[in-house]
């Protein structure tokens, strides 16, 4: 029997044109979750993210800032804000080229799996909107109805590759015949575990790796209103909490460092 195959997609700058979380800064300010100063810092983070000009130290500092920002947020408030803005904020950011790839892979019988360091609160609703079969995402800790700023599970760097391998073991995917797409050097491990890796809008370091390994490089440049391509379900309260995605990326470094120290002990 032929084993099933999949196409694994990163989210930010691979499926959508911006950071899925920083795009909501204005809405969070209007909802009283963040200050004007924090909104400006988030806008700067969005600029750095889009241009790919941040080094590891800068990104670590930004992640720490976002983690501190999210701690204490009321989950219900976040859900209410995102329920009202999911379709208007996220839906127009989806790359037309990504939607085309989704359609091609489905037609070929492959599962669509989104693998992202953003929070499950972000990835799951977007995955449902796009009709993805599965998602792998970071899980944020919640206590007494509020985000603590800590991470239960961080889907980042090598962890993405491990998660894909675990999916292959449980579902039976033939990874040698599967595909993966990402823009970031931090996802090189994810790209290496499949037989057909693609660099999408790659940062400088990933572009170098792609050239050295002869990986195809794709350029996605056309964000499209998703409802023009596929039916978009109405936003629901359960599709909420996009707010925590930035903090997920933030606290993830702390989680990863603690995990690494535990392994070294």
- The rounded distance, in Å, linking the Cα atoms of 8 and 5 is 10
Active-site entry in 12, 111, 183, 187: 12
Task: Report the distance separating Cα 114 and Cα 16, nearest Å.
Answer: 12
Residue 60 appears among annotated catalytic residues: no
Q: Which of 63, 62, 246, 5 is nearest to 138 (CA)?
A: 246
Residue the block writes with tokens 């219900």: 76
| Contact yes or no for 218/100 (Cβ under 8 A) | no
224-245 per-residue burial string, b: 16 or more CB within 10 A, e: under 16? bebeeeeebeebeeebbbbbbb
- Active-site annotation holds for 264: no
Question: What are the DSSP calls for 241-253, one per residue?
Answer: -TTHHHHHHHHHH
Both structure tokens of 237: 């309260």
Q: Which residues are the active-site residues?
A: 10, 12
């Amino acid at each position: 029997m032929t084993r099933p195959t999949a196409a694994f997609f990163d989210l930010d700058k691979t499926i959508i044109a911006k950071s899925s979380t920083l795009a909501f800064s204005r809405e969070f300010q209007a909802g009283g979750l963040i200050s004007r100063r924090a909104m400006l810092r988030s806008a700067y983070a969005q600029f750095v993210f889009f241009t790919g000009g941040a080094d590891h130290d800068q990104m670590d500092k930004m992640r720490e800032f976002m983690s501190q920002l999210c701690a204490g947020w009321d989950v219900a408030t976040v859900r209410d804000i995102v329920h009202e803005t999911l379709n208007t904020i996220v839906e127009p950011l989806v790359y037309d080229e990504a939607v085309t790839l989704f359609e091609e892979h489905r037609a070929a019988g492959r599962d669509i799996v989104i693998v992202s360091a953003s929070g499950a609160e972000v990835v799951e609703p977007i995955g449902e909107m796009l009709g993805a079969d599965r998602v792998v995402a970071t899980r944020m800790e919640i206590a007494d109805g509020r985000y603590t700023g800590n991470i239960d599970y961080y889907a980042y760097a090598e962890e993405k590759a491990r998660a894909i391998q675990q999916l292959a073991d449980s579902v039976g995917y033939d990874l040698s015949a599967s595909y993966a797409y990402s823009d970031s050097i931090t996802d090189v491990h994810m790209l290496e575990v499949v037989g057909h890796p693609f660099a999408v809008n790659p940062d400088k370091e990933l572009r170098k790796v792609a050239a050295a390994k002869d990986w195809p490089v794709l350029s996605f440049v056309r964000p499209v209103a998703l409802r023009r391509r596929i039916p978009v379900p109405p936003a629901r309260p359960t599709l909420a909490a996009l707010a925590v995605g930035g903090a997920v990326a933030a606290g993830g470094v702390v989680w990863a460092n603690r995990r690494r120290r535990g392994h070294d002990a």
